Amino acid sequence: MKNILVIGATGQIGSELTMELRKRYGNAQVVCGYINGAEPKGELKESGPSAIVDVTDGNAIEEVVRTYRIDTIYNLAALLSVVAESKPRLAWKIGIDGLWNVLEVARSRGCAVFTPSSIGSFGPETPHVMTPQDTIQRPRTMYGVTKVTTELLNDYYHTKYGVDTRSVRFPGIISNVTLPGGGTTDYAVDIYYAAVRGERFVCPIQEGTLMDMMYMPDALNASIQLMEADSQRLVHRNAFNIASMSFAPETIYGEIRKHLPDFEMVYEVDPLKQAIAESWPDCMDDSCARNEWDWKPQYDLESMTKDMLEKLTARLKGVK
C-alpha cells in the first residue's frame, strides 16, 4: 500500500493532485502538506490527514515521513516564473534548498520522489519547434535555473544513491479549481474567468506567441502514471517533456468565442511575461514519454474549453 506525502498541497496543482491521489489510493493514505498561511480548506481539509511541512525545514519533512510511514513524496513547493524574478533568493531556497531536504529524507527513508520541472527549464537557444527531450537548456530566468538544477539534482540522487526520482516538464496548467499565481502562462486561466464573468480580457501576452499548455486532469494523470511506471522501461527520468496542446492568445480567444460570441479581448503586453514566453518552446516533442511510459493526453483545446466554461459557469453561479 502506498503512503504519500504531497508538499505544497494547497497550491494550484497540489490541491487537485492530493484529491486525485486520495481517490486512487484511499483518503487516509495521502497527507496534505502545507505551510502556515496556506492552510487546507473544505474537502481537502476534511477528507484526509494534513500536516505542516515547510520544504525548507528538513527535520519537519523527516518527522512527517516517519509518522505516516511515507514511501512516496510529491514535492510541488516552488515559486512560479514571474514571481521568482522578483524573489530569486527565495525561489532558490524553496526550489533547490527545499529539494535537497526532500531528497535527503528520501535517501534515508527509501522514498520515491516526484518534483516537477517545466517548459521554463528551456531558454532562447533551445530549438523552439518540437523541442526535443534532450537538448540545450540555458534558461535566463531564476525559475528556469532552479528547474534545470532540479532535473540535475534529481538525476544525481538517482545515479549516486539509487533514489527513485521521476519528473515531467509541465507546460502551463489550466484548471477551474485553484488559481495559479505568478506564472507566465496564467493568462490562459484568467481568460476563462473573464469570459464567464462577462468581462473584457486584457491579455499580457502578444498575439502570435505560442506556448505549450495542458488541462489539469491530464497533468494529474501524467504525474501519477509516471510514478507508477515500470522502472525497467525508463530510459529518462528527470524530466520528461509532456505535451497536449500549444496555442497563442488569439487561438484560445477564438475558441472561447465559439461559445461566447460577445467576449472581447485587448492586448496590453507585459514586457517581462512576454520576454519569458518568447524564451520558452512553441511546442515540445513528447515522444519519449509516450514510448517509455505510454503517456497520452485526453484533452485538446476544444474539449478543454467546453469543460472549463461549463465548470466555471456552474461554479460562479454557485451550482457545484
By CB under 6 A, name the binding residues for ligand AKB. Answer: 80-81, 118-120, 143, 170, 172, 180, 183-185
Which one-letter DSSP state was computed for residue 126? S
Which one-letter DSSP state was computed for residue 117? E
Neighbour tally for 258: CB within 10 Å: 12
| Residue 112 CB, nearest approach to ligand AKB (Å) | 22
| Residue 63 CB, nearest approach to ligand AKB (Å) | 30
Q: Which residues have CB under 8 Å from 319's CB, separation 6+?
A: none
Q: Which residues have CB under 8 Å from 151's CB, separation 6+?
A: 117, 121, 137, 167, 238, 239
Q: Which residues have CB under 8 Å from 38's CB, separation 6+?
A: 10, 11
**Cα Rg for the chain, rounded, in angstroms?**
19
Closer to ligand AKB by CB, 170 or 263: give it: 170
| Residue 83 CB, nearest approach to ligand AKB (Å) | 8
Grouping H, G, I as helix, E, B as strand and the rest as coil, residue 234 is: coil
Q: Which residues have CB under 8 Å from 303's CB, separation 6+?
A: 215
CB distance 226 to 170 below 8 Å: no
Q: What is the number of the residue whose Cβ is closest to ligand AKB?
A: 183
3-state helix, strand, coil in the chain (%, to 5): 45, 15, 35
Please give the grid coordinates belonging to residue 318: 454557485
What are the residues facing 166 on neighbouring strands?
114
The catalytically annotated residue of 68, 74, 143, 157 is 143
Closer to ligand AKB by CB, 120 or 297: give it: 120
Q: Which residues have CB under 8 Å from 24's CB, separation 6+?
A: 224
Bridge-based pairing of strands 245-247 and 211-215 is antiparallel
| Residue 183 CB, nearest approach to ligand AKB (Å) | 3
Catalytic status, residue 299 = no
| Residue 142 CB, nearest approach to ligand AKB (Å) | 11
Q: What are phi and psi of 111, to 5 degrees?
A: -90, 150
Q: Catalytic positions, please?
A: 143
